[in-house]
């Protein structure tokens, strides 16, 4: 049997670093919540850039700096009245060798997308690329179903080898907890009963999720219950512990030598 390495993947709707109850803008508070969870890859939603409410900060850079994680990708989704945009970000301990955005928007509805990052994980005799998709799906049930089907049929996902490690996470707005049923036929695995994550001060809905596919084992999915996490955003963060397998066949990633895409 080949080597195995653990990875911690965090999914967190940071609500522009604005507290869900006190409405205070505090990036340092969000960074402290994340820091204590010791994750390797962060999938963040509602990340501001150039918006007056958040001091026109480029939040994925601010948080990356506060956390000492230098590999970052971000893509704008929604234009904010008064200037600036917000979108999804991936921040990683490991190099992000490619990043692209998959538009999942539906006409007349708020823009939605999945940020795709290709992450190179090298540790002792493990050397693999992990494809992560950071999603923020729509509020209506019919939207979410269409958006997941669009994702499953899309390039680059549809072209990935079935053993390639894939992580899908984010704010899926999964009010009824049914989206896993759409992902299961495509080979995704998660936990049967996901932790409730919204609203942060007293969670009643499991809106956020993480699923995996390929040469990974899903070990554990847990919610952060710190006092700070109750106040820092309007969602609680989720952390998935996964085990990443070394290559067991000649199937290898084809992305190792591509340069990263420029950030928008």
Q: How many Å apart are CA 207 and CA 132, to the nearest integer?
A: 19
The span from the CA of 149 to the CA of 152, in Å, is: 5
Between the alpha carbon of residue 262 and those of residues 65, 85, 136, 240, the distances in Å are 19, 18, 22, 28
> Using CA atoms, how far apart are residues 232 and 180, in angstroms rounded to an integer?
28
Task: Give the global pTM.
Answer: 0.93
Predicted confidence pLDDT, tens digits, the chain (264 residues): 457 789 999 999 999 999 999 999 999 999 999 999 999 999 999 999 999 999 999 999 999 999 999 999 999 999 999 999 999 999 999 999 999 999 999 998 999 999 999 999 988 778 999 999 999 999 999 999 999 999 999 988 999 999 999 999 999 999 988 899 999 999 999 998 999 999 999 999 999 999 999 999 999 999 999 999 999 999 999 999 999 988 764 444 444 334 344 444
Domains in the chain, start-ordered, CATH in brackets? 4-245 (3.60.10.10)
């Amino acid at each position: 049997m080949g080597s195995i390495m653990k990875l911690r993947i965090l999914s967190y709707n940071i609500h522009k670093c604005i507290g869900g109850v006190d409405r205070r803008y505090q990036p340092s508070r969000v960074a402290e919540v994340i820091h204590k969870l010791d994750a390797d890859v962060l999938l963040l939603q509602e990340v501001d850039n150039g918006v007056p409410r958040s001091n026109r900060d480029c939040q994925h850079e601010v948080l990356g700096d506060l956390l000492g994680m230098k590999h970052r990708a971000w893509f704008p989704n929604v234009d904010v009245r008064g200037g600036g945009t917000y979108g999804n970000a991936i921040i990683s301990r490991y190099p992000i060798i490619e990043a692209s955005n998959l538009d999942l928007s539906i006409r007349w509805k708020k823009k939605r997308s999945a940020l795709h990052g290709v992450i190179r994980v090298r540790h002792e005799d493990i050397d693999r690329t992990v494809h992560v998709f950071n999603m923020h799906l729509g509020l209506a049930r019919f939207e979410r179903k269409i958006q997941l089907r669009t994702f499953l049929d899309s390039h680059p996902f549809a072209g990935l080898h079935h053993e390639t490690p894939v992580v899908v996470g984010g704010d899926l707005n999964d009010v009824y907890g049914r989206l896993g049923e759409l992902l299961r036929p495509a080979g995704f695995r998660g936990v049967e009963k996901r932790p409730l994550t919204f609203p942060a001060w007293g969670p009643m809905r499991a809106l956020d999720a993480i699923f995996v596919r390929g040469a990974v084992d899903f070990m554990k999915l847990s919610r952060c219950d710190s006092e700070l996490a109750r106040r820092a955003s309007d969602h609680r963060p989720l952390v998935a512990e996964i085990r990443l397998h070394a290559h067991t066949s000649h199937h290898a990633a084809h992305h190792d030598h591509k340069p990263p895409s420029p950030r928008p």
